[in-house]
């Protein structure tokens, strides 16, 4: 992070030394873009604060409309200063209570370096500012390349900082989501149009602000929808969101080949974890189980938390040529073994704590053999889950199987450790 920050400062200083004093027209244009960026922040302040609260990970800063316009129209050092001022004002007004200064200094540095790179593209291809090149196609090519360079430099610098500070590299978590990247391209495109407007008639920039504020609201709605559909403790889908998406997936299954399946996973003796170690430790165990579930299924499969220690999975496109449930049973057994092998480590006031010996009971149902709608599939899977509980826990039962008759008064006779609560040491 310090390397990126010092590099940004050094390059801006070197560029100022190379370009010499700023002319009065350039100073006025830089001041205008800076003021527009500050006005934009002030108008959208409430929305931006909410966006910051509900965001999870990387998200697009819409002030790039102005920083990119500066990169297109100004010299490299001027664009860098505009980016630093606009970004600093945004942090002070909207982010400073939730984002440490050292993190924002790094973020601002990545924006400055992105502006320097985009400005370099405009200078080398279009001959400097947007209006200096005579060939319209050349100007268009320079703008397109500048957009790509800006977003690539910014994304890679941020992703690099996350990657070197994370114990395990996961590209899906390091880079922003596909929707955020598309939004970034759209915001930069609006910045390119803003640059064109400033060249044609600066007063026309007033028509840029209304659609930009509408975009703020639209992005906030999308973020709120995502936050409402995500369980805060595990990052999985909430029960309501899972139901909605699972219903949609089953409707698609009617038009496509390949069966679907539902798994209901319930942790055994989870209450013992909360009673012994507290609910914070229990939350960490739930998060570890959620990660285990995600790692054992495909990205297109739906994983949700039904509440408490119960999870649900919708598997799509199983390889079930005979429809006998063998593929579903293999997935369920893999999940059961993965949970049984978990060792959840966490710091406590009394020293490191490791929770191990976890187990889960799994019930499953297969579409369309066990039911043609989601409600029936869940009922069959839940019935199978309780059959697994009665069989001694730490077991898998499927709707297509006929569970063995078990005396409810008998002692559990499940796999090793199935009748014991999780151990901690």
CATH code (residue 346): 3.30.70.270
414: pLDDT confidence band, cut at 50, 70 and 90? very low
Q: Are residues 338 and 296 in contact, defined by beta-carbon separation less than 8 angstroms?
A: yes
368: preceding bond cis by omega (within 30 degrees) = yes
Residue range 11-23: mean pLDDT, rounded = 86
* pLDDT exceeds 50 at position 311: yes
400: pLDDT confidence band, cut at 50, 70 and 90? low
CA dist., res. 228 & res. 245, Å (int): 14
C-alpha 288: how far from chain center: 18
Instruction: Assess whether 338 and 250 both reside in one domain.
Output: yes
Instruction: Assess whether 97 and 155 both reside in one domain.
Output: yes
Q: Determine, yes or no, domain membership for 387.
A: yes
CA dist., res. 60 & res. 375, Å (int): 39
pLDDT tens, residue by residue, 72-110? 999 889 999 999 999 999 888 887 877 788 888 999 999
CA dist., res. 4 & res. 156, Å (int): 12
Q: Are strands 310-315 and 423-424 parallel, antiparallel or unpaired?
A: unpaired
* pLDDT exceeds 50 at position 403: no
Instruction: Assess whether 216 and 259 both reside in one domain.
Output: no
Last residue of a domain, one of 173, 199, 228: 228
408: pLDDT confidence band, cut at 50, 70 and 90? very low
| Residues labelled as active-site residues | 309
* pLDDT exceeds 70 at position 370: yes
Supply the mean pLDDT for the chain. Answer: 82
* Other CB atoms within 10 Å distance of the CB of residue 424: 16
CA dist., res. 386 & res. 405, Å (int): 12
CA dist., res. 120 & res. 137, Å (int): 18
Strand ranges in 118-222 using DSSP code E only, listed in sequence order: none
Residue range 293-309: mean pLDDT, rounded = 89
Res 274: pLDDT: 80
pTM above 0.85, yes or no: no
CA dist., res. 9 & res. 202, Å (int): 30
Residue range 368-397: mean pLDDT, rounded = 90
Res 164: pLDDT: 80
> In terms of residue numbers, what domain contains 298?
239-424
* pLDDT exceeds 80 at position 220: no
Q: Determine, yes or no, domain membership for 233.
A: no
Q: Determine, yes or no, domain membership for 234.
A: no
Instruction: Assess whether 138 and 31 both reside in one domain.
Output: yes
Res 21: pLDDT: 81
CATH number of the domain enclosing 42: 1.10.1760
Which has more pLDDT, 360 or 177? 360
Residue range 128-157: mean pLDDT, rounded = 79
Res 6: pLDDT: 95
Instruction: Assess whether 264 and 192 both reside in one domain.
Output: no
Instruction: Assess whether 223 and 251 both reside in one domain.
Output: no
* pLDDT exceeds 60 at position 423: no
Res 125: pLDDT: 80
Residue range 350-357: mean pLDDT, rounded = 80
* pLDDT exceeds 70 at position 203: yes
CA dist., res. 374 & res. 246, Å (int): 7
Q: Are residues 86 and 126 in contact, defined by beta-carbon separation less than 8 angstroms?
A: no
Q: Determine, yes or no, domain membership for 359.
A: yes
CA dist., res. 57 & res. 55, Å (int): 6
Res 158: pLDDT: 84
Last residue of a domain, one of 228, 251, 272: 228
Question: Lowest-pLDDT range, 46-60, 338-352, 376-390, 406-420?
Answer: 406-420
Q: Are residues 87 and 111 in contact, defined by beta-carbon separation less than 8 angstroms?
A: yes
Instruction: Assess whether 134 and 252 both reside in one domain.
Output: no
At residue 417, what are phi and psi to the nearest 5 degrees?
Answer: 85, 0
Total domains, the chain? 2
CA dist., res. 212 & res. 390, Å (int): 59
Q: Determine, yes or no, domain membership for 13.
A: yes
Instruction: Assess whether 254 and 180 both reside in one domain.
Output: no
363: pLDDT confidence band, cut at 50, 70 and 90? very high
Last residue of a domain, one of 228, 255, 273: 228
Instruction: Assess whether 208 and 243 both reside in one domain.
Output: no
Res 257: pLDDT: 57
Q: Determine, yes or no, domain membership for 161.
A: yes
Return the closest-CA partner of residue 364 out of 333, 321, 408, 319. 333
Percent above pLDDT 90 for the chain? 35
* pLDDT exceeds 70 at position 130: no
With b for 16 or more beta-carbon neighbours within 10 A and e for fewer, the 260-294 pattern comes to: bbbbbbbbbbbebbeeebeeebbbbbbbbbbebbb
Instruction: Assess whether 162 and 248 both reside in one domain.
Output: no
Residue range 35-54: mean pLDDT, rounded = 81
Cα atoms in the Cβ-side hemisphere of radius 13 Å centred on 135: 9
Write the DSSP string, 150-179: HHHHHHHHHHHHHHHHSSS--HHHHSPPHH
Res 128: pLDDT: 59
Which has more pLDDT, 421 or 349? 349
Q: Are strands 351-356 and 344-348 parallel, antiparallel or unpaired?
A: antiparallel
Residue 333, by phi and psi: left (phi above 0), alpha (psi -120 to 50) or beta? alpha
269: pLDDT confidence band, cut at 50, 70 and 90? confident
Q: Are residues 65 and 212 in contact, defined by beta-carbon separation less than 8 angstroms?
A: yes
Q: Give whole-number Cα distances, 407 to 88, 358, 360, 391, 416, in Å.
A: 69, 24, 21, 9, 19
At residue 379, what are phi and psi to the nearest 5 degrees?
Answer: -65, -45
Which has more pLDDT, 403 or 8? 8
Instruction: Assess whether 16 and 143 both reside in one domain.
Output: yes
Residue range 13-37: mean pLDDT, rounded = 89
* pLDDT exceeds 80 at position 388: yes
- Residue length of the chain: 425
Which range in 225-229, 278-282, 364-368 is most confidently predicted, on average pLDDT?
A: 364-368
Helix axes 178-200, 209-228, angle to 10 degrees: 170
290: pLDDT confidence band, cut at 50, 70 and 90? very high
Res 402: pLDDT: 41
CA dist., res. 172 & res. 194, Å (int): 32
- What's the token pair of residue 168? 């395990």
Res 316: pLDDT: 81
Q: Are residues 66 and 82 in contact, defined by beta-carbon separation less than 8 angstroms?
A: yes
57: pLDDT confidence band, cut at 50, 70 and 90? low
250: pLDDT confidence band, cut at 50, 70 and 90? confident
Instruction: Assess whether 158 and 262 both reside in one domain.
Output: no
């Amino acid at each position: 992070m310090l390397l990126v920050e010092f590099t940004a400062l050094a390059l801006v200083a070197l560029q100022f030394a190379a370009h010499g004093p700023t002319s009065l027209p350039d100073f006025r244009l830089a001041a205008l873009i800076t003021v527009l960026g500050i006005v934009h922040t002030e108008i959208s302040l409430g929305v931006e604060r909410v966006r910051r609260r509900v965001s999870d990970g990387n998200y697009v800063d819409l002030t790039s409309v102005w920083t990119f316009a500066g990169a297109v129209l100004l010299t490299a050092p001027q664009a860098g200063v505009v980016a630093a001022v606009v970004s600093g004002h945004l942090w002070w007004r909207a982010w400073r209570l939730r984002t440490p200064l050292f993190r924002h200094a790094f973020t601002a540095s990545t924006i400055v370096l992105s502006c320097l790179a985009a400005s370099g593209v405009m200078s080398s291809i279009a001959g400097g500012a947007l209006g200096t090149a005579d060939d319209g196609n050349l100007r268009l090519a320079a703008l397109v390349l500048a957009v790509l360079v800006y977003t690539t430099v910014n994304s890679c610098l941020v992703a690099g900082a996350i990657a070197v500070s994370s114990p395990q590299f996961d590209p899906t978590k390091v880079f922003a989501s596909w929707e955020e990247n598309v939004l970034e391209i759209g915001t930069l495109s609006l910045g390119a149009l803003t640059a064109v407007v400033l060249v044609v008639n600066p007063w026309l920039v007033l028509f840029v602000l209304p659609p930009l504020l509408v975009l703020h609201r639209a992005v906030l709605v999308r973020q709120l929808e995502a936050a409402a559909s995500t369980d805060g403790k595990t990052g999985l889908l909430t029960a309501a969101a899972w139901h909605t998406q699972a219903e949609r997936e089953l409707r698609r299954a009617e038009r496509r080949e390949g069966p679907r399946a539902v798994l209901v996973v319930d942790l055994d003796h989870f209450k013992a974890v909360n009673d012994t170690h507290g609910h914070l430790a229990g939350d960490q165990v739930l998060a570890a189980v959620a990660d285990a579930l995600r790692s054992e299924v495909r990205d297109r499969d739906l994983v949700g938390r039904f509440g408490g220690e119960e999870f649900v999975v919708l598997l799509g496109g199983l390889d079930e040529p005979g429809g006998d449930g063998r593929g579903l049973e293999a997935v369920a057994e893999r999940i059961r073994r993965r949970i049984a092998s978990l060792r959840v480590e966490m710091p406590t006031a009394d020293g490191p704590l490791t929770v191990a010996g976890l187990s889960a009971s799994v019930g499953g149902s297969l579409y369309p053999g066990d039911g043609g709608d989601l409600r029936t599939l869940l009922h069959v899977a839940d019935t199978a889950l309780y059959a697994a509980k009665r069989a001694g826990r730490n077991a898998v039962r499927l709707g297509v199987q006929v569970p063995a008759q078990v005396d409810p008064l008998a002692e559990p006779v499940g796999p090793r450790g199935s009748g014991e609560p999780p151990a901690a040491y």
